[in-house]
């Protein structure tokens, strides 16, 4: 390693150590640190729509032309990004789990090969598993998408479907209603039983109940002043971090 490279490495290491030490001292001194990350961000003048009972986690990112229906939730580290003139909709009591990514094709793609606009539609009572990726696709009501699934552009997942974890739904594929699919590429596994069909809505509702508990613990940045006022009443110093 050159002397210049060594100097940069030492500088980075010392800087990180100082930052971590400073944060530890602030915490020990009773200073509460709040993040400047914006979970909800307007893009090209279009701000995401969400209701009072929509939960968007503090580390999630919901950007641009996104509509979040009542009781929907976007969990920690998830990204819902509609910054390419194509909208994203998340239906009633649907959820996007930790680290999942929901997005659309670039602006230059005006229509899909099927002739439909390249929007992403997530219906009602849909669970999008952790780490899954959805791009310009349609997911109808009452669907469970397992963890780390991929649904590519133009694909359609009909209602009352369960996708096994890790399933890859190719572009422009169609998953018929009432079935379980899995694999890469996705393949039919079985028809869903009555119990399995009934469990789909139940899972979404349970996640909504949990989301309500998280919502009570988290004040969105639009109401940060309430948090700061509470800290002032407690005599605690607040710093951005």
Q: Answer yes or no: is pLDDT of 62 > 70.
A: yes
CA distance 152 to 87: 16
46, 56, 94, 215, 229 from 219: Cα distances, Å: 22, 10, 21, 7, 12
Which of 220 and 235 is assigned the larger pLDDT?
A: 235
How much is the average pLDDT of 172-187? Answer: 97
Average pLDDT over every residue of 204-212: 95
Q: Which of these ranges, 122-126, 135-139, 210-214, has the smallest mean pLDDT?
A: 210-214
> Three-state DSSP class for 236?
coil
From CA 16, how far away is CA 186, in angstroms rounded? 45
Largest CA distance in the chain: 69
Whole-number pLDDT of residue 221: 45
Least confident window among 24-28, 50-54, 236-240: 236-240
> What is the overall mean pLDDT for the chain?
86
The whole-angstrom separation of Cα 185 and Cα 6 is 47
Q: So what's the pLDDT on residue 52?
A: 85
Give me the pLDDT at residue 226, please. 45
Read off the pLDDT of each residue in 69-79 and give the average, rounded to a whole number: 96
Q: Which residue has the tokens 């780490």?
A: 131
pLDDT digits (tens, 9 = 90+) for 83-106: 999 999 999 999 999 999 999 999
Name, in order, each residue with C-beta under 8 angstroms of 12's C-beta and a sequence gap of 6 or more.
Answer: none
Count of CA atoms in the C-beta half-sphere (13 A) of 37: 15
Q: What percent of the chain has pLDDT over 70?
A: 75
Q: How far apart, in Å, are the Cα atoms of 52 and each of 73, 171, 216, 228?
A: 11, 35, 11, 21
Which tens digit of pLDDT belongs to each residue from 216-233?
876 544 444 444 555 566
CA distance 59 to 153: 26
Q: Distance (Å, rounded) from C-alpha 182 to C-alpha 168?
A: 8
- Report residue 64 CA to chain centroid gap: 13
Only one residue has tokens 């099927």, namely 114
Q: How far apart are the C-alpha atoms of 166 and 224, rounded to whole Å?
A: 38
């Amino acid at each position: 390693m050159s002397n210049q490279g060594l100097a940069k490495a030492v500088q980075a290491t010392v800087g990180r150590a100082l930052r971590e030490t400073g944060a530890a001292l602030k915490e020990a001194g009773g200073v509460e640190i709040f993040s400047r990350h914006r979970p909800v961000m307007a893009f090209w003048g279009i701000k995401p729509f969400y209701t009072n009972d929509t939960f968007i986690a503090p580390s999630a990112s919901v950007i641009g032309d996104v509509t979040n229906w009542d009781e929907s939730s976007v969990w920690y580290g998830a990204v819902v990004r509609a910054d390419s003139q194509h909208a994203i909709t998340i239906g009633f009591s649907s959820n996007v789990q930790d680290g999942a990514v929901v997005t659309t094709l670039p602006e230059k793609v005006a229509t899909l090969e099927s002739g439909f606009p390249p929007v992403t539609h997530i219906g009602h009572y849909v669970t999008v598993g952790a780490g899954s990726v959805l791009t310009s696709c349609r997911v109808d009501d009452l669907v469970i998408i397992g963890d780390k699934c991929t649904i590519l552009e133009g694909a359609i997942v009909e209602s009352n479907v369960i996708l096994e974890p890790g399933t890859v739904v190719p572009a422009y594929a169609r998953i018929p209603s009432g079935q379980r699919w899995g694999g890469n590429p996705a393949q039919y596994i079985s028809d869903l039983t009555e119990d399995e069909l009934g469990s789909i809505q139940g899972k979404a509702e349970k996640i909504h109940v949990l989301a309500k508990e998280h919502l009570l613990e988290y004040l969105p940045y639009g109401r940060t002043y309430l948090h700061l006022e509470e800290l002032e009443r407690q005599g605690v110093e607040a710093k951005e971090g």
